[in-house]
Amino acid sequence: MKNMKIKMALIISLPVIIFGFSIIAGPRMINPFTTDEISREILFSIRAPRSIVALLMGMALGASGAVLQGILKNPLADPYILGISSGASLAAVLGIMGGAAFFGSFTIPVLAFSGALITGTMVGIMGWKRGGLWPERLLLAGVGLSFLFSALLMLIMSISGDEGIRRAMLWIFGDLSMSEWSKIPYGLAFVFPGILISLFRAKALNALILGDEFAHSLGFSPHRERFILFVAVGLLTAASVSLGGMIGFIGLLVPHIIRSMIGADSRLLVPFSALGGGALLCIADLISRSVLAPTELPAGVVTAIIGSPYFLYLLRRKNVLSI
């Protein structure tokens, strides 16, 4: 039990430390109390919003991954498996082709968010039968839609010579360099409700993992709970895609890593997956903008390179709990 407390303290303090460090470190270290004007501008209008966005996005992915693996009862579920990200990319690309620029630098995030929500709703409708959502149906509907949207995306990419679309795809495949303060309130507005819903329904999630009959006997309506949690996942994933495109690994593997550390109780798993995801993305982004500076690497590459070996190590050393 004492060991557990140490682990929990570690998981809570890690994001805070990493967040602070990611602001003062970068291509060059900056003393946070500097009076140099350029350094202050870099700290406050570039690094701070970027680290906050990384934290928010990582939290959204970690939490939605943990919830989704529970409601789909599948250890391979990741927030992108529902086709939400391909829907977001497709909406962004279609919008750009249609000449949409109405929101200035918000155009792609807004398009991506709407695409993600529309796709989420479509998956929900297709996963709906006999008064509720069914895990297998959701999963298959998501995979099916994902293939369809990816194919349409490839089709557009291969017949269109528009340079803008190719560049927009760079953004879709994970980019945090355009994080600004102005995007943070919108991010918060969706990430926090999503995480709160998941937290309040964590007990129900535990029951759902054990099976619908079991949940029923504990006094939960499985269909209702699954629907509420599905909405939370949709919000979280849509928000994360519109904050920084698609960044893999976190939603799939962070919940597994956390599960191997503190167990499978969703009441702990969901918040700690969020914290772990936030910390991982924050540090991955720090590395991606520092190692080859002034050149930046895609953050998703770094997350996978530092995360996967650790995950594989856990897989060999410990008994990774399935869900």
Partner 1 sequence: MRQLFFRRFALVLLFSLLTINYLLFTASYAAEPPRRIISLAPNITEILFSLGLGDKIVGVTSFCDYPAAANRKSKVGGMSNPSLEAVISLRPDIVFLTIDGNPKAFEEQLRSLKINTFVLRSKRISELPHGIRQIGAAAGALENAEKLAQEVEKKINDISQQQKAFMSVHHIAKKTKVLFIIWPEPLIVAGPGSITDDALQILGVDNIAGNTVSTYSRYSLEEVLRRAPDIIFIGKGQNSMNEVSEGLLRRLKNTPAARNSKVFYVSDNLYRLGPRTVKGIDELAGHLQQ
The span of 6-14, 115-123, 168-176, 224-232 binding partner 1 (CB under 8 A) equals: 168-176
Per-residue contact track with partner 1, 263 to 292, x per CB under 8 A?
A: --------------------------x--x
Question: How many residues make up the chain in this entry?
Answer: 323
Which structure tokens are listed for 102? 């109405």
Q: What is the three-class DSSP state of 133?
A: strand
The span of 136-144, 166-174, 204-212, 223-231 binding partner 1 (CB under 8 A) equals: 166-174
Q: Does 175 bind partner 1 (CB under 8 A)?
A: yes
CA distances from 53 to 23, 46, 112, 180 (A): 12, 11, 16, 8
Among 47, 201, 226, 259, binds partner 1 (CB under 8 A): 47
Among 12, 189, 196, 293, binds partner 1 (CB under 8 A): 293
- Outline where 127-219 has alpha helix (H): 135-159, 163-172, 184-200, 202-210, 212-217
Q: Does 294 bind partner 1 (CB under 8 A)?
A: yes
What is the closest distance, in whole angstroms, from the C-beta atom of residue 222 to partner 1 in the complex? 43
Which structure tokens are listed for 262? 């503190």
CA pair distance 289, 92, nearest whole angstrom: 25
Amino acid at 183: K
Is residue 107 a contact partner of residue 168, using CB atoms and an 8 Å limit? no
Q: Does 181 bind partner 1 (CB under 8 A)?
A: no
161 has which bridge partners?
A: none
- CA distance between the termini of the chain: 22
Q: Does 31 bind partner 1 (CB under 8 A)?
A: no
Which is nearer to partner 1, 114 or 177 (by Cβ)? 177
Among 1, 6, 29, 38, binds partner 1 (CB under 8 A): 38
Q: Does 170 bind partner 1 (CB under 8 A)?
A: yes
* Residues of the shown chain interacting with partner 1 in the complex, contacts defined by CB under 8 A: 26-28, 37-38, 41-42, 45-47, 101, 104-105, 108, 161, 163-164, 167, 170-171, 175, 177-178, 180, 289, 292-298
